[in-house]
Amino acid sequence: MEYTRLGRLGLRVSRLCLGTMNFGWDLPGTEASEAFAIMDRALEHGINFFDTANVYGWQRGGRPGEGRTEQILGRWFAQGGGRRERVVLATKVYGKMGDWPNESRLSARHIVSACEQSLRRLQTDHIDLYQFHHVDREAPWEEIWQAVETLVAAGKILYVGSSNFAGWHIAQANETARARHLLGLVSEQCRYNLTVRTVELEVLPACEAYGLGVIPWSPLAGGLLGGVLGKLQEGRRAGEEIRGEVDRFRPQLEAYEALCADLGENPADVALAWLLANPVVTAPIIGPRTGDQLDAGLRALEVTLSDETKGRLEEIFPGPGGPGPEAWAW
């Protein structure tokens, strides 16, 4: 396994991050026993970076606040064997965890309360990376950072990251943190893949400027970049949403899968390798539902894309034209 620093930190994490969003959901989610096996196998492979969120694991018709995915991780940590000690644990706060007014978003009250609840579910005494799942336009950064100071001083969180922030949100957050002599945001978890590249305009440049590690979610575009056309030809089923995306991107997907075939590589590995080749990217999040899927995803670490291949990928999935303002101005 390869390791790298998380942004400007001294903290070292694996180049692939284990996403646990599939754990504990209704079918086709991953049951606890299989989730335990996947996490054990991840450690065997050297993956030390695990990502979750307090809202993951809702059931059909279930009430918010169950935090089933965090509970599964907590039961796995409770088995001991150095599991918690070897994991850089990331979870998130923002989503609705109850029906009362202060059980969501980023008020200081909710941040502190949600952290305490996550710690209980995760059966741990601290969270390594506590991420704001979305920007809260109503909560001032002075209030947010006050809650962070409280939790850091108590030893309950070590670092703070963002998710789904705009570039100016990252700048605003870190400048406010600087005024309070705080470390500020250390990472941004954003939707980034060959089909969704708008973060190249301002989010990635902001991350680079402030030394944030970038943790792409949906690196395979919900399965589009995992060889979806070949799988459909084999008779595999796909939901209505993915079929609509296939129709939208079909010419590009045909060219992409043909290129991957010429390279002799799995399309999913090429998509991950393209992200890993970007120096601002720390670790794409992979969300395996089975141990075999986890094993297969490691191949991406061995794939090196030539400049010619990168250029061909740029032709198939053109980006926004680089960072702003050059992308839209002279």
Q: In what order do the strands lie in the sheet with 88-93?
A: 213-217, 185-191, 157-163, 127-132, 88-93, 49-51, 17-19, 285-286
Q: Where residue 62 falls among pLDDT bands split at 50, 70, 90? A: low
Q: What is the mean pLDDT of residues 296-302?
A: 94
Question: What's the pTM?
Answer: 0.95
pLDDT digits 0-9 by tens, 249-280: 999 999 999 999 999 999 999 999 999 999 99
Domains identified in the chain and CATH numbers: 3-221+266-303 (3.20.20.100)
Which pLDDT does position 29 carry in this prediction?
66
Q: What is the mean pLDDT of residues 187-197?
A: 98
pLDDT digits 0-9 by tens, 311-321: 999 999 999 99
Q: What is the DSSP string of 40-82?
A: HHHHHHT--EEE--TTTT--TTPPTT--HHHHHHHHHHTT-TT
Which pLDDT does position 45 carry in this prediction?
97
Q: Where residue 174 falls among pLDDT bands split at 50, 70, 90? A: very high
Which pLDDT does position 58 carry in this prediction?
76
Q: What is the mean pLDDT of residues 280-289?
A: 96
Q: What is the dihedral sign for C-alpha 263, 267, 269, 271?
A: positive
Lowest model confidence (mean pLDDT) among 23-32, 138-147, 172-181, 244-253: 23-32
Which phi and psi angles does 210 have, rounded to 5°? -95, 0
* Per-residue pLDDT at 65 exceeds 70: no
The mean pLDDT value of the chain amounts to 94
Burial code (b: 16+ CB inside 10 Å, e: under 16) for 39-67 equals: bebbbebebbbbbbbbbbbbeeeeeebbb
Lowest model confidence (mean pLDDT) among 63-67, 137-141, 255-259: 63-67
How many CA atoms, within 13 angstroms, populate the side-chain half-sphere of residue 204?
A: 22
| Rounded Cα gap, residues 318 and 147, in angstroms | 41
| Rounded Cα gap, residues 307 and 312, in angstroms | 9
Which pLDDT does position 300 carry in this prediction?
96
Q: Where residue 30 falls among pLDDT bands split at 50, 70, 90? A: confident
Q: Which two tokens stand for residue 288?
A: 């395996």
Residues involved in catalysis: 56
Q: What is the mean pLDDT of residues 88-117?
A: 96
Which pLDDT does position 310 carry in this prediction?
98
